[in-house]
Structure 1
Amino acid sequence: MNDSKLHSPVRADVSQLYQLLTLSTVVAVLALWGHQLLPEKTLPLVPYYVHESYVFHDGQNGGNTQANWQSQQDLSFVCEVVNPDKSSYCGASIKVKPPEAAVDFSAYRTATFYLSYTGPNEHLRVKLHAYVPPGEQHYANEVLTGLDYVFSKQGELAGVTIPASAWHLSDMNLFDLQNTTPQLDVVFDVAPPLLAGQHTLRVDQIVLQGEWLPVSFWYAIVGVGWLVFNVIFLGRLLKVQQARLANDANRLSQLTHFSSHLKEESEHYKTLSSHDPLTGALNRSGFAHEFRYLFPDSRLKLNTALLVIDLDHFKRVNDTYGHDAGDKVLQQCAETLFKNVRLNDRLVRWGGEEFALLCVDTSLQQAQLIAEKIRTMLEELDIQTGKATLSVTASIGVAVSHHLEEFDALFQRADKALYRAKEIGRNCVVLAD
């Protein structure tokens, strides 16, 4: 009876949550689709940013065509074509210099031209190219964008739209010159072949259109919002499900907690049984386990190096400064040793102040370099204790295994090398025979 009263509102909550999840998905899909409804940003280039304009015609080169401005301010010109041939042409060039903030046209997707044309030809043409005005003549830099767009005349042209992919600058680094600004040169002409008669063309506007918010950014916002929304409600759903199972799960939770506690204690004792609690290095028992893992047949592979490291005059530290200072020396020396341990190496605290470092796939020369580096780093340590700054040195014996050699034999050779290092004055590295 009590379970029925508990589960009834829980089921209702679950149903509502699934409805909200469905609703959030529908809203996200609509938001993705709604990007196309966002208003566009525009940059009107003409007539506001006209920097220079001129007409051109083949009459300038001895042809029969003449072109003149009807109104240069209104960008209206007229071409008189008499006895045209294949080389006849006429048109106008408009140099547009947008403000500094609008030099990068990558945010705009289309360009729309508003024109008015009267004349016998059926087609007009627009060309775009970009250039940097030269400070000196030989510095002129001009790049064609590949746009040569031909369209049919439509009387009073309401607007001819050209995709931005046809006119984007492909390499803005070409305009990376000091104190210069890239400009656009817009060329309008009557598409050849020209027909005889009078051609009148007026450029009313050139407008760039683009997105205020890139579609990829919009999709990212919607996606993150949808994800956050659903994570919140999935968390709520999880809580509801947990409430539904609370009575039955209480004992299981206690057992799980108890099991987890036992596991943690087991791991703790396992670590204590295999690692030295003071230095964090393996103890002999832990090393024996690792050795069986590395060498299942108990035989060493060729080029397995063993470094036996003994801190010089360590007993004096304990006798003079106490065991706390001695423990600190051991800890900092172990930290230094760990800095030279590779992934497959094993560091062992072998005795009181004696460590062993087993290095697999290490030649005698490499082992000597490692040992010398360790000796130098230990020698450079300044260990702060309560009332004094202590220094430490180490004697190191190095041996490299023969093929299928047993560990005890390798250790004996390294230990003898350590003994010779102490005999010749300590703070040195000696290689085994």
Structure 2
Amino acid sequence: MKNRSNLVFLIIAPVITLILLGCHKLLPVRSVAIIADSKGEAHLYADNHSGGNSEAIWLDEKTHAWQCRLRTGTDFPFCGMSTLPTGSHIQGLDLSKMDKIRLHIGYSGPAKKIRFYIRNYDPEITGSDELDAGKFMFVQLNTSDLADEITLNLSEFSVADWWIDRYDVPRSRARPNFNNVVNIGIDFASPFPYGDHIIAVRKIHFLGEWITAEHWYLSIIALWITAFIIFASVRWYQFYGHALKNSRRIAELASYNEQLQTKKEEYKYLSKIDALTGALNRFGFTQAVENVLDKRQPGEPVSLILFSIDHFKRVKDNMGLNETDAFLQKVASLIADNSRTNHVISRWEGEEFILLCPDTVGSSGYILADQIRKSMVAAAFSHRGASSITISAGVAEIDPNESFASAFKKIDDALFKARSLGGNCIIMG
């Protein structure tokens, strides 16, 4: 299910990205109208006010339709129209966020080009507050293009060389800028197109994006990075949660496994122990013998002693079950108390106990068995109808490379002989 969700996401993500990229064109546009239809104030100027012969006259001031009569009579004849967006030639409009101008200018006359200009005032450059001190930036418009509305990029504007020379502006500050636009206008540049020109300025709109394409694309990238971080964080949190849960589960399983191991060892131990006497049972003793014989060094003596309580059937019949169990426990304790710490005692079956004696030769095993027999007599265990209970034993030393089964047969035969002699004796096998 998760793989399917990831596949769907991989398919949808590029589609969403393409949609977001396309949505930039649908965003609202920032707009500043300098002249729109009949709105906006403007004034005309010409060289006839300074001794020239050119003049500019309004044909319809409301629609910004005017006539320029450009005549000879001065070295630099001029006539044009300009507007102060804020009414001040010092404090203008900040149009630095704009990147385009939409113009709708009607033209009739002999000129092939007209000049559209913008002045941006910066007192740190000119050090003057004269009306024409603003940086003069312009673009030449082909009159053949003016039949329809046109759009200019502000990057198309150039700073006039004469203005740079006039104020000795350094190259680093001679680039166009639009952070304090104080004057916008239309006139003619050299070579001067003498004659009559009719111009109607219907629209001057500055346009800019609220969010530039570059910032929009960066925002999309930032959005996906944020989404990825959130997704990665959620996945990490889920992974951490699963890991923590698994860690707890592993800890629980480890604890449970440890308990099982403890129980296993406990059951393993109990499987080797005679429940009544606490001595090894036959299974446990067999393993102990095999372990001793496997580790036996050349020349190392090992002896076996097989004990049996004399006339046990009669003893058991007279004692009863509970008393018999207690008696067997005492016999096991008596044998253990008379043995060395490295000796291994086992309840072989019923009334029989077997003792494994490492580092013990047969004669020493015989002495030990007889000592235990005497201790049994001294303990004066009794039952109804008899003064004391005795014990017999068969003793044998396990020969080198001899198996336990072979050695056991020797002590079993010896014990049988001891019983045949009436009990309370030790026989070497």
- Could you say which TM-score interval applies, normalised by the shorter chain? 0.3 to 0.5
TM-score, scaled relative to structure 1? 0.43
TM-score, normalising length: structure 2 = 0.44
